[in-house]
Amino acid sequence: MSGAIIDLSKEAPPAAITTEICVIGSGCGGATAARLLAEAGHEVVVLEEGRDLKGPERTQRDAPMYDQIYMDRGGRASHDLSVTVLQGRVLGGGGVINTCDVVPIPEGVLHHWATKYGLEDFAPQRFKRFHDDALADLSASHIPDSMVNAANNKVRQGAEALGLRGEVMMHNRVGCRGLGTCMLGCPIFAKRNPRMVALPKAIDAGARIFTRARAVKVGKSGEDIKEVTVRTLDPGGYHEQRELKVRAKVVIIAANAIASAQLLLRSGVGNAQVGRNLILQPQLPIIGLFEERIAAFDGIPQSYAVTEFEEEDNAEFGLWGYRIEGIMGTPGIVATLLPFSGVAGMQNMARYDRMAPSLLLAPDAPSGRVQVARDGRLTIHYEQRDDHKKRLRDAVRVASKVYLESGATQVLVPSVPPLIIGSSGPGKLGQRLSFAPATAPLISAHQQGTVRFATSERDGGADLNGQVYGTRDVYVFDSSGFPSSAASHTMTPIIASSRMLTTKLLTRL
Amino acid sequence: MGETGNEESARDGLFSFLSRRRFLKVSLAAGGAILGVGGGGLLALRGRAPPVDGLRVLDAHEYRTVQSLVEVMLPKTDAIPIDAASMDLPRAFDAFLADEPEHNVKDFQKALVLIEFGPLVFEHKLTTFSRLAVPDRAAHWQEWAVSDNLLRRQVSMAMRKFFNLVYFDHEQVWPYIGYPGPSMKRLGRVEP
């Protein structure tokens, strides 16, 4: 039996749908689980709040794409606007909006999780096969040197001149033509997964995938039956229209670390740990400014990383330190990150084609919390810790050396007020880069940890099977479960862990 | 099981930091300026805004505030000699708001009140944002970004994010920033 993608903004839904398994979220975790379960012969329904954007609809334009493929139309942020929170809202989820970075969970982190948190299934040897399968799902390969774009090559040149360790990254593109707008959704579908692998396989195996379907509550309907309340959305995804119920024996929530916790909290499901231990892993942009035209908007936007200062086996935190990764964005998104307004803003954006930006990525310890008010409004509380600020300042010092070594005339840290670094270096940064709320354009693309996997209810929100404590057969199969930062990029960790958790679930069904 | 939230409560947005309580707190903490002038005085200070047809959310006063803001945020310069007025960004924002949840619209409208009466509230000047001469308005708006007051910085950042995104997504601007436009158009149809 073949399944289908059903757009509920266009087709009137039935009042109720009954299925064996309901998966909420169609990103890396949800699509992987749906595929494996459907292939094993189980009846699967997937609910996705976004819709399936066809090639021509992926216009490579900032305003319509942020509106359509990001949560809150790209406006999601932490409570005090310190951190912009990027989260996909499209069929395929984060796998559609990311920059295709394939980074498995480092062995040091797996060991850390197994020993410090008791997550034995993540012990390196036991977890290896799931990693291997995830890499196969992704058609993972090293980015060819010829496709490292100009901004990334500037980072590489500078790092190599300074003798810093770095690497051309792995990715999950097949047939990439270097169109440069990965973060706005690839118009030629060169990203292999989850939209182009797991979801088609799930459909082939009979899964029914409902788009423009927002899950708003998980409740009970009888002893062993869960009932998910779903509201359909209009074609633009702005307004709720109708309500239906999806009844299932098993509910798997994989809607991202923010939305999964939000759904559980709205539903009153789970223990007091749900929503806690949020990891945002905020990244700080920095920009090398060159005399010559860089034209970094062409080619793969993120392809080279300086890894010299990244620790993979920190005794207390697992992944620690920081890395520097080249990046580029379309004009609109770059302009939103710049601290200038008025004439200065115009003068700086006039240098757009001479910019070589990068992101300073420092893992953080759990220091945030997802909360939901009585009226359902979401709050993402996040306090940036001093050790995170310090590592970002260290990264600014190194990145500015890297850029100046590769020929930049200036380096811009887009804080308010702007920090412009010339040939004399950055000097003391403490006062000038305070990270006071709403002064630095911190970005979170790797939210984790709000329903932590734990060996006891006291320490987390879900057990080692991903089953939410206090429930029977309600699971989280996404980055919500990670007890510390899994990796610098979370696509591969989420797919691998969803594979592991689904494999375990299959033995119990 | 708890109650489900009301319609569209799952969505939030750029202005969600501006709760009613915070808004009142900031307005009152900003001194007796508003209280001193009084409600009738505030209306007189703001004056009349020219009518604007076809708005879905904003009223004429709010439209004028946004227009005044865009004028100083995205001015015509030698570097980018485009008149943002030709893009009617306030109307684009009106269209954006029309599809936002009601609580976000309210938050935004509070932010606009704060901006319009910013010269009075924060600098104790008997005038409004829209009535300031352009150089004075630009200087006043710059202070929002670097203010010690978190709420002013947040409003500044949120406005910058929205209007920069929309403005620099306009084709007219691209020749002046060296951007040749979406690669699919330049390269023609590209097959994977």
Express each pLDDT in A158-179 by its tens digit. Answer: 999 999 999 999 999 999 999 9
Distance from CA of A271 to the nearest CA of B (A): 12
| Residue B3 belongs to some domain of the structure | no
d(CA B134, CA A75): 29
* Residue A437 clears pLDDT 70, i.e. is over it: yes
Residues A375, B11: C-beta atoms closer than 8 Å? no
A144 touches B: beta carbon within 8 Å: no
For residues A243 and A128, membership in a common domain is answered with: yes
Total domains in the fold of chain B: 1
Residues A377, B12: C-beta atoms closer than 8 Å? yes
d(CA A55, CA A246): 30
Distance from CA of B151 to the nearest CA of A (A): 9
Express each pLDDT in A66-106 by its tens digit. Answer: 999 999 999 999 999 999 999 999 999 999 999 999 999 99
Give the whole-number percent of chain B exceeding pLDDT 90: 61
Task: Pick B177's closest partner by Cβ from A76, A77, A331.
Answer: A331
| Residue B56 belongs to some domain of the structure | yes
Q: Is omega for the bond preceding A418 within 30 degrees of 0, making it cis?
A: no
* Residue B89 clears pLDDT 80, i.e. is over it: yes
| Residue A375 belongs to some domain of the structure | no
| Residue B25 belongs to some domain of the structure | yes
* Minimum Cα–Cα distance from A299: chain B residue: B183
Residues A390-411, mean pLDDT to the nearest whole number: 97
CATH of residue A492's domain is 3.50.50.60
Total domains in the fold of chain A: 2
Q: Which residues of A88-99 are buried (b: 16+ CB within 10 A; e: fewer)?
A: bbbbbbbbbbbb
d(CA B190, CA B184): 7
CA A447 to chain centroid: 6
For residues A40 and A153, membership in a common domain is answered with: no
Residues A474-491, mean pLDDT to the nearest whole number: 98
Residues A353, B12: C-beta atoms closer than 8 Å? no
With vertex at residue A474, the alpha carbon angle to CA A280 and CA A382, rounded to the nearest 5 degrees, is 15
pLDDT at B3: 34
Residue A388 neighbours by CB under 8 Å, 6+ apart: A282, A362, A364, A365, A367
For residues A152 and A219, membership in a common domain is answered with: no
Q: Is A501 helix (H, G, I), strand (E, B) or coil?
A: helix
* Residue B15 clears pLDDT 80, i.e. is over it: no
Burial group, residue B36, by CB count within 10 angstroms (0-12, 13-18, 19+):
exposed
Q: CA–CA distance from B35 to each of B18, B24, B113, B124, B127 (Å)? A: 21, 12, 15, 12, 15
Supply the mean pLDDT for chain A: 95
pLDDT at B26: 54
**Which residues in chain B touch residue A342, judged by CB atoms under 8 angstroms apart?**
72-73, 75, 138, 141-142
Residue B46 token pair? 């703001």
Backbone Cα Rg of chain A: 22
**Which residues in chain B touch residue A335, judged by CB atoms under 8 angstroms apart?**
164-165, 167-168
What is the CB neighbour count within 10 angstroms for residue A159?
26
| Residue B8 belongs to some domain of the structure | no
Residues B165, A187: C-beta atoms closer than 8 Å? no
Q: How confident is the model at residue B31 (pLDDT cuts 50, 70, 90)?
A: very low
Distance from CA of A313 to the nearest CA of B (A): 37
Distance from CA of B37 to the nearest CA of A (A): 30
Residues A190-195, mean pLDDT to the nearest whole number: 92
For residues A51 and A94, membership in a common domain is answered with: yes
Does the pTM exceed 0.80? yes
| In contact, B47 and B39? CB cutoff 8 Å | no
Taking alpha carbons only, the member of A166, A186, A165, A168 closest to residue A177 is A186
| Residue B183 belongs to some domain of the structure | no
| Residue A373 belongs to some domain of the structure | no
For residues A340 and A234, membership in a common domain is answered with: no
* Residue A375 clears pLDDT 50, i.e. is over it: yes
Q: What is the DSSP letter of A462?
A: B
Domain range for A52 is 1-77+88-139+183-279+447-509
| In contact, B152 and B160? CB cutoff 8 Å | no
For residues A292 and A401, membership in a common domain is answered with: yes
* Residue B60 clears pLDDT 50, i.e. is over it: yes
| Residue B192 belongs to some domain of the structure | no
CATH of residue A418's domain is 3.30.410
Q: Is A211 helix (H, G, I), strand (E, B) or coil?
A: strand
Residues B145, A339: C-beta atoms closer than 8 Å? yes
d(CA A480, CA A493): 12
HEC readout, A346-391: HHHHCCHHHEEEEEEECCCCCCEEEEECCCCCEEEEECCCHHHHHH
Q: Among residues 406-425 of chain A, which lie with CB inside 8 Å of chain B?
A: 416-417
For residues A157 and A219, membership in a common domain is answered with: no
Q: CA–CA distance from A72 to each of A35, A75, A165, A264, B16 (Å)? A: 28, 5, 38, 19, 11
**Which residues in chain A touch residue B166, judged by CB atoms under 8 angstroms apart?**
63, 332
| Residue A440 belongs to some domain of the structure | no
For residues A223 and A354, membership in a common domain is answered with: no
| Residue A379 belongs to some domain of the structure | no
With vertex at residue B48, the alpha carbon angle to CA B44 and CA B51, rounded to the nearest 5 degrees, is 160
* Residue B192 clears pLDDT 50, i.e. is over it: no
For residues A267 and A296, membership in a common domain is answered with: no
d(CA A426, CA A417): 14
* Minimum Cα–Cα distance from A179: chain B residue: B183
Give the whole-number percent of chain A exceeding pLDDT 70: 100
| Residue A401 belongs to some domain of the structure | yes
For residues A357 and A211, membership in a common domain is answered with: no
For residues A168 and A221, membership in a common domain is answered with: no
Residue B57 token pair? 């959310």
| Residue in this structure with the two tokens 């119920």, named with its chain if needed | A245
Sheet of A141-142: strands edge to edge?
A101-102, A170-171, A141-142
Residues B165, A332: C-beta atoms closer than 8 Å? yes
pLDDT at B39: 65
Q: How confident is the model at residue A241 (pLDDT cuts 50, 70, 90)?
A: very high
Domain range for B101 is 20-170
For residues A23 and A51, membership in a common domain is answered with: yes
